[in-house]
Structure 1
């Protein structure tokens, strides 16, 4: 009997291990392993993440909640991987009957990013040549802004134009902002004191340390991760419901 009780006591902590919040280095290491050892393709990962972001947005802001207005969404894309995730997200939002518009001020020369851009153009998603002013944004030109600018790889202490100016605008607006993985302008390792304030955060793979005290709606898109990686990095991911590829934390 004592042995049984001892065994139960040992097993119990496994069920309450906290979800791990990743450092920048951990997140980069996991992505490297996915690409190198597990033979995921970069395009495959970006597609998985972009679709999951679009699904999270449909959960946070369903079309029925936007029924009195046009379901217009401004997707602001950066030059690196986060920007490509934003392009994929915009394409899926279009498929889900939202009306995305893309602002992509510094396009990458990488063929993969160019392919994602063409896919959006073929879906007749408009691209802006300028960022709408605060007045235009505040006057309900858009219901929602998707921040897919800087992401994990950015140096939050050295943000250059045009992104520093965009962040100034995003701090002024009242319409909801959804950030992909790491809100632009935030340090991935710690919460921002004076950055943008997104209503929704969509964490990819596992949440980053900057999200520890995030108080808005927080979605996790990490169900595709191989079990060996989950175990190696002690991610302690929560259970996803049914066949869902994301969950709200």
Structure 2
């Protein structure tokens, strides 16, 4: 169980900006437990968002509450995945040959496609959060969505080839097997059952993940850390849209 605890701590240190001053060993066992803990980290982040939403509901008007929740959402992760999103957007937007796309992705400077991708992602997230709040949706959805977004990252790491033998994605996916994906998904089963629309969100993630994985492997011949981070951001946006559709049209 010590390895599992170390793995959870590693996942928290990597995926969030929550203070956790603990030195954790980095080996095959703790690495696998860290990946298995990705959805748990999403559950924690979503829980903090839901608590903030409950505390501020009725105090802030819906537009300001949506913006506050989005700000907290970004702050808790330190914008880690947004950086990957911008890198991927710049590479894809360049329409350059493969090697040039990789060079663009590694460039520390942000281009126009990255800025546009960031702006539209945040605007859509804010708008969908506002729409969910206006529709009176359950704040429990904010627990499910970040959890599933990080489960998508686990699925990508387990099932997709790494583009290079070295790098962040290659180091995280080393030694991973399909069992790790199953164990990562296990804690989400209660959420899928207890939260209205939870099963629908789980099912809706599958076509998005399949299309995204196919597109990234086709464009880059494999995945890297930026691509894994982007699936979290894109997955969360897609799930917000699905949640709003469910709550507005199915439960209405």
Q: What TM-score do the two structures reach when normalised by structure 2?
A: 0.25
Higher strand fraction (1 or 2): 1
Q: What TM-score do the two structures reach when normalised by structure 1?
A: 0.25
- Tell which has more relative contact order, 1 or 2 (C-alpha 8 A, sep 6+): 2
Higher helix fraction (1 or 2): 2
